[in-house]
Amino acid sequence: MPELPEVQTVVTSLSKLKNKEIIDFSSSWEKVTYNCTPTNLKKVIKDNIIQDISRIGKYIILHLNNKYLICHLRMTGYLYLTKSLPVNNKHVRCYFNLSSNEFLVYEDIRKFGGFYLFKNLFELKQKVGIDPYNKKFTTQWLQKNLSRKSGMIKHLLLNQKFICGLGNIYTDEILWKTRIHPNHIARNIKNTDFLYQNIISTLNESIKFHGTTIMNFKFDNMKTGNYKTKLKVYGRKNLPCERCKKKILKIKVAGRGTYICSHCQK
């Protein structure tokens, strides 16, 4: 579910976590921790002050004392700060007790998401490519790196080791705006500057609207994103393209449902 704008929305909504202290951890789903056991996390998490909270790609980073607690929401993760545990705890997979008598709760309907514990941020950085908000991500960077790739553009934009943060919704939106067909070979793309501008402007715009809620995306206290009304192609099968009025098609690209205007996108 959550792509970069949704993850940024969550990070922003959790800014109040800064300087709070974690005193305990409980889980009800063994696989909620990826690279350690819940038992181990419980042992090492106590008495940690949250120094900062940030994001790289779709990963949420809690900066602790000499370690990093990293959360990935995958499809249906919901991470929020609350004064009391939810009454309906059906999808609560784990939670952290804070010394402020609050809880950092993690819910996840499909149980795909969870937490990593890293000693060093390098461990995270080697998992992903460049973040679109990294100052090294420029038109020049994109130009240079696209020119080396013989694969199809949608597949490449979805590859988190290339650029991290784009997912199925924003990739379709960006390619529609740039008038590029998702199967276009990356190195043959001519209007790289336009593509770059559309990546940045689409993400910026969605963040302003707190991301896109299709079904499950939530942040803070049950808030939802409002960017869905701004979508040009994603989820608009058979509706008219805003530019040319021809029907939006749904096709399969890189194994993912993909929305295009076959008239506008070549």
33 or 168: whose CB is closer to DNA? 168
Site size with DNA, rule: CB under 7 A: 36
Site for DNA in 172-211 (CB under 7 A): none
Q: Taking the CA of residue 15 as centre, how many other CA atoms within 13 Å lie in the half-sphere pointing to its CB?
A: 4
179 in catalytic set:
no
48 or 202: whose CB is closer to DNA? 202
20 or 129: whose CB is closer to DNA? 129
Alpha helices (H) along the chain? 4-13, 38-45, 122-125, 139-146, 153-158, 168-178, 192-208
Contact with DNA (CB under 7 A) among 127, 179, 187, 263: 127
CB of 101 to DNA, least distance (A): 29
DSSP string of 51-69, one letter each residue: -EEEEETTEEEEE-SSSEE
Distance CA 238, CA 242 (A): 12
User: Is residue 212 a contact residue for DNA (CB under 7 A)?
Assistant: yes
2 in catalytic set:
yes
User: Is residue 90 a contact residue for DNA (CB under 7 A)?
Assistant: yes
Alpha helices (H) along 93-167? 122-125, 139-146, 153-158
Close Cβ partners of 156 (under 8 Å, ≥ 6 residues apart): 146, 149, 162, 186
Contact with DNA (CB under 7 A) among 37, 140, 144, 214: 214
Collapsing DSSP to helix, strand or coil, 23 comes out as strand
Site for DNA in 38-77 (CB under 7 A): 57-58, 72, 74-75
User: Is residue 239 a contact residue for DNA (CB under 7 A)?
Assistant: no
Phi, psi for 238 (deg, rounded to 5): 70, -5
Distance CA 70, CA 220 (A): 18
Q: Which residues are catalytic?
A: 2-3, 58, 256
Residues near DNA (CB under 7 A): 1-3, 6, 31, 57-58, 72, 74-75, 90-91, 109-112, 127, 150-152, 155, 158, 160, 167-169, 212-217, 254-257
